[in-house]
């Protein structure tokens, strides 16, 4: 049932902007109320997808618990689930209070539909996530009963006379840190911290879901699920195979040409799917055997696939770039232009190292054949046209970002279901859509609760205090940039990029401005360091995903990525200390 809801919601989110474009061209006007409907459907798909992710045990969490003894796993799962269940219960109660208020005083969204109808997805979504966390906490009813004890946490906090004599904020935050390190989903850490801090300050806990409701107020955020869906359709339909054939035909004759081709394919797909993990999981099984069969060392091949899974995050239509532009209040087109040269630098250094290793190992080369190059180019023409169509529509002012994302879904579906018929509407469409919704829910529920936590930081003037502290202790701009790199790499290793953008950007943006750093350049520094953080042992997300995908020990994955991480660190320092390199295409430098 939940899966079909996800299919219906994503279908409507894709169709309405398309109809809006057609109506604007054919009728010289759009459809009244369609855009607010799409924005509010973003809220719905977030919590439907989060419920599916909880059901399938795919909510994003730190991987630190995996380094602990295997025998501890059952107890840790019950403990972390109980903590998350308590937070879900608190968020559900707070969301229900918001629904009641919105029902009494709220306005219509469009088409005569009141806002509280969409807002119901919050309490229902948090309740569903909590229910699945209880069910998956253990294979026994006794274990589930222990996890369900977390439902009593909100009741304990509601009993103010008992807790008012304690300074509960510090031990409460410590509890959240421990629970998160032991496997509690990341959204629980941010949502729990927001609930605790607002409650401790005497503010209504409904302030947290009120900020989450801002997901429905953003004109930009609906693009995230739509671009993700379009990328999923292309990946499932065989676009990676077609592009691999093309790049291999074009550069396979070079020393290490296959490694270069693999890097280009991964860099092409990462911004479309929106998450490096998707690229590794979906294409690792294709690329790793291909590289090894051509004579590339296993360590080199595994490191290449692991690293290249996040190497394209600076290229359009990268979702992290879109999100950064929104929360840092910077022009999206400038950020994309600024990311082109740094993104190419990262691709070149990774491909260059892999090619060098392959050449030294005597890896096979593919002789250049003009006929094969022409045939592969013709086969991949529809895939190569997609970025051109999408970006032309945006930069020409013909489509908004959300409409361009809807065009991406339509185009990908047309190519894979219609032209190539590599996918079946009856067999594959629902499966792909549910898989996409699972990913969307997994990270967008983090965005929702992170908004509440960020709002508390701003309310308490934490960015101002951080600025004062940094200026008091660091005088040099160059020393600050080095400290910023170290800070962001650690953040990238501990947090997913989406929650990091929401939580960290309000802290670093004013500090960067105080040191005279161009805000567009600061955005590129931020995103490049987040890419590097994915690879930082012991907790970088891509390391754990690669270990899972290739069934290898973490230590093996660490060794395979270490050379790439070192050269990427050098590249990130170049990007950091050479602002003209990022700003050259933006018109912001002479």
- pLDDT (tens digit, 9 = 90+) per residue, 39-48? 999 999 999 9
In this prediction, residue 346 carries a pLDDT of: 93
Domain that holds residue 296: 230-320+332-422
In this prediction, residue 388 carries a pLDDT of: 85
In this prediction, residue 497 carries a pLDDT of: 77
Per the CB < 8 A criterion, the answer to whether 343 and 315 are in contact is yes
Higher pLDDT, 349 or 236: 349
DSSP one-letter string for 549-585: HHT--HHHHHHHHHHHHHHHHHHHHHHHH-HHHHHTT
Of 346, 349, 363, the C-alpha closest to 312 is: 346
- Say whether both 161 and 252 belong to one domain: no
Boundary (domain end) residue, out of 422, 452, 481 = 422
- Say whether both 482 and 418 belong to one domain: no
Beta bridge partners of 113: 110
pLDDT band at residue 65, thresholds of 50, 70 and 90? low
Mean pLDDT of 468-485: 88
Mean pLDDT of 461-465: 79
- Say whether both 183 and 69 belong to one domain: yes
The Cα–Cα gap between 12 and 20 comes to 12
Residue 377 in any domain: the answer is: yes
The Cα–Cα gap between 84 and 382 comes to 44
- Say whether both 339 and 400 belong to one domain: yes
Mean pLDDT of 558-578: 92
Instruction: Tell me how many domains the chain contains.
Output: 3
Does 160 score more than 60 pLDDT?
no
- Say whether both 177 and 286 belong to one domain: no
In this prediction, residue 311 carries a pLDDT of: 81
Burial of 221 (0-12, 13-18, 19+ CB in 10 A): buried
Residue 559 in any domain: the answer is: yes
pLDDT band at residue 33, thresholds of 50, 70 and 90? confident
In this prediction, residue 124 carries a pLDDT of: 95
Instruction: Write the pLDDT tens digit of every residue in 552-567.
Output: 777 788 888 889 989 9
- Say whether both 166 and 293 belong to one domain: no
Does 81 score more than 90 pLDDT?
yes
Residue 63 in any domain: the answer is: yes
- Say whether both 471 and 514 belong to one domain: yes
- Say whether both 74 and 201 belong to one domain: yes
Residue 438 in any domain: the answer is: no
- Say whether both 476 and 570 belong to one domain: yes
pLDDT band at residue 588, thresholds of 50, 70 and 90? low
- Say whether both 418 and 532 belong to one domain: no
Does 589 score more than 70 pLDDT?
no
Of 176, 164, 80, the C-alpha closest to 449 is: 176
Out of 150-159, 378-387, 419-428, pick the least confident. Answer: 150-159
pLDDT band at residue 269, thresholds of 50, 70 and 90? confident
Higher pLDDT, 32 or 178: 178
CA distances from 493 to 47, 241, 248, 473, 500 (A): 26, 31, 33, 25, 10
Instruction: Write the pLDDT tens digit of every residue in 106-159.
Output: 778 878 899 899 999 999 999 999 999 999 999 999 999 999 999 988 776 666
> Average model confidence (pLDDT) for the chain?
86
Q: What are phi and psi of 255, to 5 degrees?
A: -60, 125
Boundary (domain end) residue, out of 216, 241, 263 = 216
DSSP, res 56: T
Residue 458: other Cβ atoms inside 10 A: 12
Cα atoms in the 13 Å half-sphere on the side-chain side of 463: 20
Higher pLDDT, 84 or 224: 84
Instruction: Write the pLDDT tens digit of every residue in 192-205.
Output: 999 988 888 878 88
Could you tell me the sign of the dihedral formed by the alpha carbons of 39, 46, 400, 575, in that order?
positive
Residue 439 in any domain: the answer is: no
Residue 249 in any domain: the answer is: yes
Does 447 score more than 60 pLDDT?
yes
Does 275 score more than 70 pLDDT?
no
In this prediction, residue 277 carries a pLDDT of: 61
Residue 337 in any domain: the answer is: yes
- Say whether both 366 and 492 belong to one domain: no
Beta bridge partners of 529: none
The Cα–Cα gap between 491 and 540 comes to 10
507: Cα separation from own chain's centroid? 20
In this prediction, residue 528 carries a pLDDT of: 92
Does 436 score more than 70 pLDDT?
yes
Could you tell me the sign of the dihedral formed by the alpha carbons of 192, 196, 199, 203, in that order?
negative
The Cα–Cα gap between 473 and 480 comes to 10
- Say whether both 8 and 46 belong to one domain: yes
Higher pLDDT, 106 or 357: 357
Residue 393 in any domain: the answer is: yes
The Cα–Cα gap between 362 and 380 comes to 29
Highest mean pLDDT of the ranges 141-145, 218-222, 404-408: 141-145
Boundary (domain end) residue, out of 397, 422, 447 = 422
The Cα–Cα gap between 190 and 401 comes to 28
């Amino acid at each position: 049932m939940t899966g079909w809801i996800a299919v219906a919601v994503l279908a409507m989110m894709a169709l309405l902007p398309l109809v809006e474009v057609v109506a604007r061209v054919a009728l010289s006007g759009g459809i009244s109320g369609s855009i607010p409907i799409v924005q509010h459907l973003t809220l719905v798909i977030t919590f439907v997808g989060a419920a599916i992710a909880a059901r399938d045990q795919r909510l994003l969490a730190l991987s630190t618990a995996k380094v602990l003894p295997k025998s501890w796993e059952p107890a840790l799962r019950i403990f972390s689930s109980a903590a998350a269940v308590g937070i879900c219960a608190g968020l559900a109660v707070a969301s229900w209070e918001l629904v009641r208020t919105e029902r009494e005083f709220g306005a219509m969204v469009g088409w005569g539909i009141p806002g509280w109808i969409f807002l119901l997805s919050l309490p229902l979504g948090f309740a569903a996530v909590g229910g699945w966390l209880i069910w998956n906490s253990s294979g026994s009813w006794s274990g589930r009963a222990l996890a369900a004890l977390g439902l009593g946490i909100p009741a304990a906090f509601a009993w103010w006379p008992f807790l008012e004599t304690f300074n509960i904020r510090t031990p409460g935050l410590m509890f959240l840190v421990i629970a998160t390190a032991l496997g509690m989903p990341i959204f629980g850490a941010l949502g729990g911290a927001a609930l605790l801090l607002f409650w401790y300050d005497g503010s209504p806990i409904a302030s947290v879901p009120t900020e989450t409701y801002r997901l429905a107020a953003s004109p930009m955020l609906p693009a995230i699920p739509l671009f993700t869906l379009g990328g999923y359709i292309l990946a499932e339909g065989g676009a990676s195979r077609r592009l691999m054939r093309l790049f291999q035909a074009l550069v396979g004759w070079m020393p290490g040409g296959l490694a270069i081709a693999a890097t280009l394919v991964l860099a092409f797909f990462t911004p479309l799917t929106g998450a490096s993990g998707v690229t590794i999981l979906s294409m690792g099984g294709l690329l790793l055997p291909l590289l090894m069969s051509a004579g590339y060392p296993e360590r080199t091949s595994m490191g290449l696939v692991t690293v290249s899974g996040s190497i394209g995050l600076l290229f359009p239509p990268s979702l992290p770039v879109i999100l950064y532009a929104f929360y840092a209040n910077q022009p999206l087109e400038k950020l994309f232009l600024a990311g082109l040269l740094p993104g190419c630098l990262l691709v070149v250094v990774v491909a260059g190292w892999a090619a060098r290793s392959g050449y030294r190992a005597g890896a096979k080369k593919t002789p250049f054949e003009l006929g094969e190059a022409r045939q592969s180019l013709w086969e991949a023409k529809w895939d190569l046209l997609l970025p051109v169509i999408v970006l032309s529509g945006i930069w020409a002012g013909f489509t908004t970002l959300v409409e361009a994302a809807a065009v991406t879904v339509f185009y990908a579906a047309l190519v894979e279901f219609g032209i190539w018929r590599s996918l079946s509407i009856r067999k594959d469409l629902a499966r792909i859509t549910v898989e996409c919704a699972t990913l969307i829910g997994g990270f967008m529920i983090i965005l929702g609760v992170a908004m509440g936590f960020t709002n508390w930081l701003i309310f308490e003037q934490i960015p101002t205090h951080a600025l004062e502290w940094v200026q008091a202790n660091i005088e040099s701009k160059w020393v600050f940039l080095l400290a910023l790199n170290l800070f962001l790499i650690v953040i990238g290793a501990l947090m997913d990029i989406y929650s990091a953008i929401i939580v960290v950007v309000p802290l670093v943006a004013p500090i960067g401005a105080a040191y005279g750093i161009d805000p567009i350049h600061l955005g590129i520094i931020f995103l490049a360091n987040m890419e590097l953080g994915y690879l930082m042992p012991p907790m970088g997300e891509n390391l754990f995903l690669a270990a899972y995908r290739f069934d290898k020990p973490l230590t093996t994955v660490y060794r395979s990525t270490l050379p790439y991480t070192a050269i990427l660190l050098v590249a990130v320092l170049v990007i950091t200390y050479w602002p003209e390199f990022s700003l050259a295409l933006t018109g912001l430098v002479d």
